[in-house]
Each structure stands twice: as structure tokens, then as C-alpha cells.
Amino acid sequence: MKPLAVHGNLGAKILLVLAVAFGQGIFAQATSENQLTTHKMEIAFLMFEDYETLDVFGPAEIFGRLTDHYRLKFYSIAGGIISNRHGVPIMTEKLGTMNNDPYVLLIPGGMGTRREVNNDEMIRQIKKVAPKSTFVLTVCTGSALLAKTGLLDGKKATSNKRAFSWVETQGQAVSWDERARWQIDGNYYTSSGVSAGMDMALGFLADRHGLAFAKKVAKEIEYH
């Protein structure tokens, strides 16, 4: 088959039409890819030394599977590698470089919270970022850090039952629930210790996407 020959004004018009159509195709593809990227909601994990492993990676497994809905980001005050007592390092971005207000700010617990409640910069940053987040989730003693900011004052919250008496001292104006597996008050979700963070994450999905959606995710990871 011979290639199409174009001549004169007619050829110019054909080439123009093809160029416009091709350009529109590229633009449409770029727009589609951009929408695919921008519609994903950010789950921002606030990391610190001596975080509790499952507090982070339990919810990360659940949210991270939903690549059509969420993207995971890990931040710390200074950025760089953050590690814990289990020897699990994770690369983080500097919190000050956060470009967008996150859909979820997730604050884990761990032995590091005992130090971080006295870290004025950490508390100041949480107090700055949390109100800009659509939702704030805490796992275990991460609720102590949130309570220290005063943002939980007058709200219902819970925490790790083994550290409950200590957590209470970090926010005496909080309505602490000593029995709940996880507690919800407005856009604040707080959970009990370690594995409870996964229950809370699935509960959060049920609230946002429906119970059947959350059950499907739980089944995929064989979580009962």
C-alpha cells in the first residue's frame, strides 16, 4: 500500500486536522493521567524515632492496597531515615515540605511518644497540620501526642489500655474512654494499642466507603 500523498492547500488542511486531533489525543491522555494522580487522597504518616512497628505498617497495609483511592506519604520533623527498637527503618520526607493538606494525618504510638510529648516542635507541628487534615487518626499512644496539643479537649478519645493512666495525664480535658477499641469524635479517630490500629483503619474505610468495601479489604488480607 502506497503512503498517502498530500498536495497544496488540501494537504495542508489534512495535516492541520491530523495535528489538532493528535494534539487533542495527547491532551486528553495527559488530563486523564493528571486526574488519576490528583484524585488520590494522601494518607500522611507522622514518624518519629522508636515508633511502634504495627501502628504504622498495619494501617499502611490496609490503605496502601487501595491504590486507586489513596497514596501513602511518610513525614518526620527533620526528614531522613527514622528507625525503631525493632530495627525497622523508613525513609521520610521533611514535614515542612508537605505541599498539600493531607486527607488523613495518622499519628502512631510507641515508646518514642514518651519523649515526643516533651518535644515542643513536634507538638507545634501536629497542632499546625492536624486542623488542615480532613481526618486525624491516632494509634496507641499516638493519642497522647494529639492530646498534648489541646485539639482533643472536650472530645471522646481512647488509647493503649496498658499505658492509659500515662496518656490521660497528657490531656486532662479529654473525655477518655477506657473501654473502646477505637473511638470517633467528629474527624478524630483514636484507637487502642497496636493491633487496634488495623481495626480502626478498617472501621474508617467502612465509614467512608461502606461496610462491604471494608469487609472486602479485610478478606483480602485474611484479617478477622
The verdict on 88 and 14 lying in the same domain is no
The verdict on 128 and 205 lying in the same domain is yes
Please state the φ and ψ torsions of residue 209, each to the nearest 5 degrees.
Answer: -120, -5
Which residue from 48, 158, 161 is spatially nearest to 114, judged by alpha carbons?
Answer: 48
**Interatomic CA distance for residues 210 and 174, integer angstroms:** 29
Q: How confident is the model at residue 9 (pLDDT cuts 50, 70, 90)?
A: low
**Interatomic CA distance for residues 80 and 91, integer angstroms:** 5
The verdict on 99 and 109 lying in the same domain is yes
The verdict on 151 and 68 lying in the same domain is yes
More confident residue, 8 or 46: 46
Q: Is the pLDDT of residue 49 over 80?
A: yes
pLDDT digits (tens, 9 = 90+) for 131-175: 999 999 999 999 999 999 999 999 999 999 999 999 999 999 999
User: What are the CA-CA distances from residue 56 to residues 34, 142, 219 (Å)?
Assistant: 29, 11, 20
The verdict on 82 and 129 lying in the same domain is yes
Question: What is the residue-averaged pLDDT of the chain?
Answer: 88
The verdict on 177 and 207 lying in the same domain is yes
Which structural domain, as residue segments, surrounds residue 23? 8-39
The verdict on 150 and 215 lying in the same domain is yes
Q: How many domains does the chain have?
A: 2
The verdict on 18 and 109 lying in the same domain is no
